[in-house]
Amino acid sequence: MPLKLTTWNINSVRLRIDLVAKFIKAMRPDVLCLQETKCPDDAFPHKRFRRLGYEHISLNGQKGYHGVAVISRLPFESFHVRNFCGKTDCRHVGVVFGERAGLRDPITVHNFYVPAGGDEPDREINPKFGHKLDFLDEMRDCVEIRPGTADRAILVGDLNVAPLEHDVWSHKQMLKVISHTPIEVEKFTAARKAGNWIDVTRELTPEPQKLYTWWSYRAMENWKISDRGRRLDHVWTSNALADRVSSIEVSKNYRGATRPSDHVPVTAFIEA
């Protein structure tokens, strides 16, 4: 069964609902995982998504900040949320697809929004950076999100770390910039390895090819020319699904839309 799954930090779902609708009409993903929805659950634009054919919605949102959502054309069996670092700041939602979605074997999808970490990579003077490091440690130690050897699972989202040399426009210049510092990369890699997750994006597009999913708002006019991007949005799968991902598409053109998000959609094509 072909399954098309997209992850996208939308940076306010209500502000950019027309852009989301445009993407949906063009790409028709089966499952859309949004981060930074910035929307309490009771204000989420359910009706608009239902008109677009997406009846099944799982939310973990709050007013003004953070928030994650899974929007699906396929029904899911169950959903759950998990809090990290003792905070209820809406950074995870998980769903399980099974027989109701036409799958013989179930697939669990985790949608994450890892803290950005602020501007100064020093936890002693920047609590936001400390929170990010602690969050990554908790992801590493969280057995609830680890797939078993035979489990079919996908972890996606804005994980806010560009781990590899060619995931940033300049490895040397970014080493002291949050999202690419060695301590973040170390903790990020430890979290991925603890769950035996496969970075399927880089399996399909190996280094040294540059690959970005985010471009700063600070370069509004010349972002495409300067191309100083980072790969912050990720698709991980369990071993049982890794060879079922045929391709990953980064929809870079959406960064050039009117009033865009600074992230672009990343879509995985899976033979489920």
pLDDT value of position 220: 66
Cα distance between residue 14 and residue 202, in whole Å:
32
- Per residue in 109-160, pLDDT (tens digit) is 999 999 999 999 999 999 999 999 999 999 999 999 999 999 999 999 999 9
Q: What mean pLDDT comes out for the span 94-107?
A: 97
- % the chain with pLDDT above 90: 96
CB 42, CB 14: distance < 8 Å: no
Q: Is the pTM of this model over 0.95?
A: yes
- Per residue in 167-184, pLDDT (tens digit) is 999 999 999 999 999 999
- Per residue in 250-263, pLDDT (tens digit) is 999 999 999 999 99
C-alpha to C-alpha distances, 110 to 132, 182, 210, nearest whole angstrom: 18, 25, 26
Cα distance between residue 113 and residue 115, in whole Å:
6
Q: Please tell me what DSSP assigns to residue 52.
A: T
Q: What is the CATH number of the domain that holds 8?
A: 3.60.10.10
pLDDT value of position 218: 84
Cα distance between residue 95 and residue 114, in whole Å:
18
Domain count, the chain: 1
- Per residue in 37-88, pLDDT (tens digit) is 999 999 999 999 999 999 999 999 999 999 999 999 999 999 999 999 999 9
**Residue 219 clears pLDDT 90, i.e. is over it:** no
Name every residue whose Cβ is closer than 8 Å to that of residue 6 and which is 6 or more positions away in sequence: 23, 27, 29, 31, 32, 33, 265, 266, 267, 268
Q: Which structural domain, as residue segments, surrounds residue 251?
A: 2-271
Q: Which value, in Å, is the radius of gyration of the alpha carbons in the chain?
A: 17
**Residue 29 clears pLDDT 80, i.e. is over it:** yes
pLDDT band at 31 (very low <50, low <70, confident <90, very high): very high
pLDDT value of position 23: 98
pLDDT value of position 124: 96
Cα distance between residue 48 and residue 170, in whole Å:
40
pLDDT value of position 222: 83
CB 158, CB 114: distance < 8 Å: yes
pLDDT value of position 224: 86
- Per residue in 230-253, pLDDT (tens digit) is 999 999 999 999 999 999 999 999
C-alpha to C-alpha distances, 259 to 17, 18, 42, 160, 220, nearest whole angstrom: 11, 10, 24, 21, 10
In degrees to the nearest 10, what's the CA dihedral of 238, 60, 83, 115?
Answer: 80
